[in-house]
Amino acid sequence: ETAVFQTPNYHVTQVGNEVSFNCKQTLGHDTMYWYKQDSKKLLKIMFSYNNKQLIVNETVPRRFSPQSSDKAHLNLRIKSVEPEDSAVYLCASSYRLGGSYEQYFGPGTRLTVL
Amino acid sequence: QEKVQQSPESLIVPEGAMVSLNCSFSDSASQSIWWYQQHPGKGPKALISIFSNGNKKEGRLTVYLNRASLHVSLHIKDSQPSDSAVYLCAVSSNTGYQNFYFGKGTSLTVIP
């Protein structure tokens, strides 16, 4: 059952363009994330938000910027895309389960930069 | 930054076989370890987690954690074709935040 929604599913664009990806979760979770998954399936965390506040900003290029209007929404903007930005971008949310946090992922947005 | 290594990279087994997947991590202070399953074109789905040394069983899945050797393994009993997927090991950071570092995954194929 999908409860983390991402749009668009796919996006093809050219180098230098700006793109925006949207994410919404209906689970009532306080924390949301953006991950980048490369062609070798490696998932790397990019940003983490807790109740609309940025709590982690891993080393990502400045052209990436997250935007959160409320705790259910976390968008990602890429100001001027580069070829190495081609990847699947996964949004997730989490809640506390015992001593840890279970993450729920969306289906991802596949970005292709020509 | 946490480093997570998984092995093998890929695995092909007949239906009904026991599957063993391995994961090693670099920080003994990591809070918890999760295993995720990812089917093609889908986001990862959480399967099972472990926090304390020892083992934990849920259905056909058993996970073993040894913090001293920085190693965790996932075992799938009586594997099914529907288990064919990429399995990702995720280790929480020790910063107090809810961040996870993922391995590159093991691609499992179960042949009917």
Candidates A31, A42, A94; nearest CB to B102: A42
> Average per-residue pLDDT in chain B?
91
pLDDT at B89: 96
Digit-coded pLDDT (tens) for B62-98? 999 998 999 999 999 999 999 999 999 999 876 655 6
Distance CA A76, CA A71 (A): 14
Asked whether the beta carbons of residue A92 and residue B92 sit closer than 8 angstroms, the reply is no
Work out the pLDDT band at B40, boundaries 50, 70, 90.
very high
CA distance B16 to A97: 31
CA distance B46 to chain A (A): 7
Question: Has residue A98 got a pLDDT over 90?
Answer: no
Smallest CA–CA distance from B100 into chain A, residue = A45
Tell if the CB–CB gap between A90 and B43 is shorter than 8 Å: yes
Residue A77 touches chain B, beta carbons under 8 Å = no
Most distant CA atoms of chain B, gap in Å: 44
| Confidence (pLDDT) at A99 | 67
How many beta-carbon pairs below 8 A join chains A and B? Answer: 70
Identify the pLDDT of residue B98.
67
Q: Which of A79, A76, A63 is nearest to A32 (CA)?
A: A76
Q: Which of A1, A114, A18, A113 is nearest to A75 (CA)?
A: A18
Question: What confidence category does residue B2 fall into, taking pLDDT thresholds of 50, 70 and 90?
Answer: low
Instruction: Give the whole-angstrom CA distance, residue A1 versus residue A28.
Output: 15
At A48-58, the pLDDT tens digits run: 888 778 877 77
Interval A24-48: pLDDT, tens? 999 999 889 999 999 888 899 898 8
Q: Do A105 and B43 touch (CB under 8 A)?
A: yes
**Minimal Cα distance from A59: which residue of B?**
B1
